[in-house]
C-alpha cells in the first residue's frame, strides 16, 4: 500500500451522504445558536464522560474466522504526512524529543507511561487539544478532540454518532473547548457547524464498526477567526508501519480521573486489535471515559502528526487502548473535514 503525509438538525442519510464520498458520511447542518449558551460551567461539570466502547471475547469469537479470511493487515509503507502548524503568536515549545520507532510489539499488559501534561496547555502542540461537550440520545457527554486544520477537529466516530445506522444517532449541541483546564476556557467555546464520520462506524457501531471509529466536526468562526488560526493544528500521518511510538492525549473523566486536566500516555505498538475489518492498533494505557477521541501524536514536539485516536478497549484487557489504523480511509475523512466550511 502506498503511504503519505499532509501539512498541517437531523436529515436523511440520502441527503447527508453523497455519491463519491469515499465511505464518509456527514450530518445535516447543526443548529448552533443555542449550543454555547447551553454549555454553562455547571453543565460542563455535570456532563458524563462518554464511556469508552468495550468489546468482549464472547462478542468477538463469532467474528474471528471472518476476520482471518476476509481481512489482512495492510502492507507497511514509508508513511505519508500532512504537516501541522502552530497558532498565531504561539507560546514556547516543550523540550525537543526525537521520534521513537519500536521494532516489535508487546504482549498484554503492554508497557506505558501516563502523566499529567506538565506544560502550559496554551503551548503548541497541546493547545490544539481540548474537550468536546455534546448531547447524544438524550444525555450530555464529554470527550476529547484536536484541531487538524482549517475549521476542523478530529475525534472518535462514537463521539459524533451513536453507530446505530440512524439519522437520530448524530450528536447535537457539540462544542469544542481548546486548552480546557480546571473549568477555565481561555480560548473560548467553539460550536460545531456539522459532523462527519465513516459510514462503517455509522452503520455498524460496536464491534463491526470499530475499525473505522473516526469522526470530526467543522466548527463555526469565533470572534472573526477559525479554530486553526486560534490554536494551530496537528499534522496528519497515514499508511505508516504499525510499529510506532505515540503520545496519546485526552481528558479522562471517569474514576480515578475527574476530567479537569489533560493527560498523556507514552506508549508503543503492542499488537493488533481483534475486531472485524482492517485490524486496529493496541497499546498500553489506563485512560478512562472522557478521553475518547483524543489524538495519538507521533513525533511529539517535532512533526506532531495525528496518527490515531482513543477509541475502545477489550474488557479482558483493561490496561490497553485501541485506535483505528490510519490509512487512506482516515486520510479521506480528514480531507473531507479540512476541506469543509461552516
In a domain, 7, yes or no: no
pLDDT at 115: 97
pLDDT at 37: 79
pLDDT at 18: 38
In a domain, 5, yes or no: no
276-305 burial: b if 16+ Cβ within 10 Å, else e: bbbbbbbbbbbbbbbbbbbbbbbbbbebbb
Given a contact cutoff of 8 angstroms between Cβ atoms, the answer to whether 192 and 32 are in contact is: yes
Q: Which domain holds residue 259?
A: 23-71+78-86+99-338
In a domain, 229, yes or no: yes
The C-alpha angle with vertex 191 and arms to 186 and 193, in degrees rounded to 5, equals 150
- Closest Cα to residue 87, out of 239, 281, 251, 225? 225
pLDDT at 31: 66
In a domain, 284, yes or no: yes
Given a contact cutoff of 8 angstroms between Cβ atoms, the answer to whether 336 and 213 are in contact is: no
What pTM does this model have?
0.87
Measured distance CA(160)–CA(290) in Å, rounded: 14
Give residue for cell 476529547: 144
Do the bridges between strand 139-149 and strand 129-136 make them parallel or antiparallel, or are there none, so unpaired?
antiparallel
pLDDT at 217: 98
Tens-digit pLDDT profile for residues 214-256: 999 999 999 999 999 999 999 999 999 999 999 999 999 999 9
Distances (CA, A) of 36 to 234, 237, 269, 274, 302: 25, 32, 38, 39, 34
**Cell numbers at 202, concatenated:** 455509522
Rounded average pLDDT over 202-206: 97
Measured distance CA(23)–CA(329) in Å, rounded: 8
- For the chain, the domain total comes to 1
In a domain, 14, yes or no: no
87 falls in which pLDDT band (50, 70, 90)? confident
Mean residue pLDDT of the chain comes to 86
In a domain, 322, yes or no: yes
In a domain, 8, yes or no: no
- Closest Cα to residue 146, out of 133, 131, 158, 157? 131
Tens-digit pLDDT profile for residues 311-336: 999 999 999 999 999 999 999 999 99
CATH of the domain at 297: 2.40.10.10
Say which residues have a Cβ less than 8 Å from residue 254's Cβ, sequence separation at least 6.
49, 51, 288, 289, 290
Report CA 65 to chain centroid distance, whole Å: 29
Given a contact cutoff of 8 angstroms between Cβ atoms, the answer to whether 196 and 23 are in contact is: no
In a domain, 18, yes or no: no
- As to burial, measured by CB atoms within 10 angstroms (0-12 exposed, 13-18 middle, 19+ buried), residue 140 is middle
SS3 46: helix
Amino acid at each position: 500500500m502506498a503511504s503519505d503525509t499532509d501539512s498541517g438538525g437531523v436529515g436523511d442519510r440520502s441527503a447527508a451522504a453523497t455519491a463519491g464520498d469515499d465511505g464518509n458520511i456527514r450530518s445535516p447542518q447543526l443548529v448552533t445558536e443555542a449550543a454555547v449558551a447551553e454549555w454553562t460551567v455547571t453543565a460542563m461539570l455535570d456532563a458524563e464522560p462518554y464511556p469508552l466502547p468495550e468489546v468482549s471475547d464472547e462478542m468477538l469469537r463469532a467474528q474471528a474466522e471472518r476476520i482471518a479470511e476476509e481481512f489482512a493487515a495492510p502492507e507497511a509503507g514509508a508513511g505519508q504526512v500532512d504537516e501541522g502548524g502552530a497558532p498565531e503568536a504561539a507560546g514556547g515549545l516543550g523540550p525537543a524529543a526525537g521520534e521513537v520507532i519500536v521494532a516489535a510489539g508487546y504482549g498484554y499488559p503492554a508497557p506505558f507511561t501516563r502523566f499529567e501534561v506538565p506544560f502550559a496547555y496554551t503551548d503548541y502542540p497541546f493547545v490544539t487539544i481540548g474537550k468536546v461537550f455534546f448531547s447524544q440520545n438524550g444525555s450530555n457527554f464529554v470527550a476529547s478532540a484536536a484541531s487538524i486544520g482549517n475549521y476542523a477537529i478530529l475525534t472518535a466516530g462514537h463521539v459524533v454518532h451513536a453507530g446505530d445506522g440512524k439519522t437520530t444517532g448524530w450528536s447535537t449541541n457539540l462544542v469544542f473547548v481548546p486548552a480546557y483546564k480546571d473549568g477555565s476556557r481561555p480560548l473560548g467555546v467553539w460550536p460545531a457547524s456539522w459532523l462527519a464520520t465513516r459510514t462503517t462506524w455509522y452503520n455498524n457501531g460496536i464491534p463491526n464498526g470499530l475499525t473505522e471509529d473516526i469522526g470530526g466536526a467543522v466548527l463555526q468562526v469565533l470572534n472573526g477567526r477559525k479554530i486553526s488560526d486560534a490554536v494551530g493544528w496537528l499534522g496528519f500521518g497515514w499508511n505508516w508501519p504499525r510499529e510506532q511510538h505515540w503520545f496519546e492525549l485526552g481528558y479522562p473523566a471517569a474514576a480515578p480521573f475527574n476530567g479537569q486536566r489533560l493527560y498523556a500516555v507514552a506508549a508503543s505498538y503492542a499488537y493488533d486489535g481483534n475486531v472485524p475489518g482492517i485490524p486496529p492498533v493496541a497499546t498500553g494505557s489506563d485512560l478512562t471515559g472522557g478521553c475518547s477521541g483524543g489524538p495519538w501524536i507521533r513525533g511529539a514536539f517535532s512533526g506532531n502528526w495525528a496518527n490515531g485516536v482513543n477509541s475502545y478497549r477489550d474488557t479482558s484487557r483493561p490496561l490497553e487502548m485501541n485506535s483505528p489504523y490510519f490509512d487512506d480511509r482516515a486520510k479521506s475523512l480528514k480531507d473531507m473535514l479540512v476541506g469543509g466550511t461552516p
